[in-house]
Amino acid sequence: MQTIRIKAPASDTARQAGQGTGNDLLSLLTGVAVAVGGVGATLALIDLDSPLRGPFTLFFLLAAPAAAIGAALRGLTPWGRIVASASGAIAVNLLVAQAMLALHMWSVRGGVAAVTVLSSLTLLLVLIRRSRRRTARRRSP
């Protein structure tokens, strides 16, 4: 009887030896960014007085729409996607503020909630579009 061994890829052996890859750091930074944004949105929505409320809420207001727009722009180069998503995030925030001011409905909580809803809808539409493309690829011969 013969035993067949499968060699582990080089990346797995490097990871087992304690040498992490750049993806580990990227995953860690993504997790920290999500946590900071979530704390900022929570502090703004519950109206808690904290010295971290302003910077964390500002981070959320810029990062949430930028992440959603960046996910929609997969075809661009990385620098192009960064510039477009940052510009789009600023535009979303300005449009939300302008609409709320025009309707005499301005509030910090309302602004954070509106940006959250718009960012979530954008990300949801991107995910739906990707899942439809994947199922269409599986069905085609």
DSSP per-residue codes, 12-28: HHHHHTT---HHHHHHH
Instruction: Determine the pLDDT at residue 74.
Output: 86
**Sequence-separated (6 or more) residues with CB below 8 Å from residue 126:** 68, 71, 72
More confident residue, 111 or 135: 111
Q: How far apart are CA 132 and CA 79, in angstroms?
A: 27
3-class secondary structure, 103: coil
Q: What is the pLDDT of residue 84?
A: 95
Q: Confirm if 74 and 126 have CB atoms less than 8 A apart.
A: no
Residue 18: pLDDT over 60: no
For the segment 50-97, what is each residue's pLDDT rounded down to a tens digit? 899 999 999 999 999 999 999 999 888 989 999 999 999 999 999 999
Q: Determine contact, residues 114/96, Cβ cutoff 8 Å.
A: yes
On whether the pTM is more than 0.85, the answer is no
What's the CA angle centered on 32, arms 111 and 26, to 5 degrees?
120
HEC string of 44-58 equals: HHCCCCCCCHHHHHH
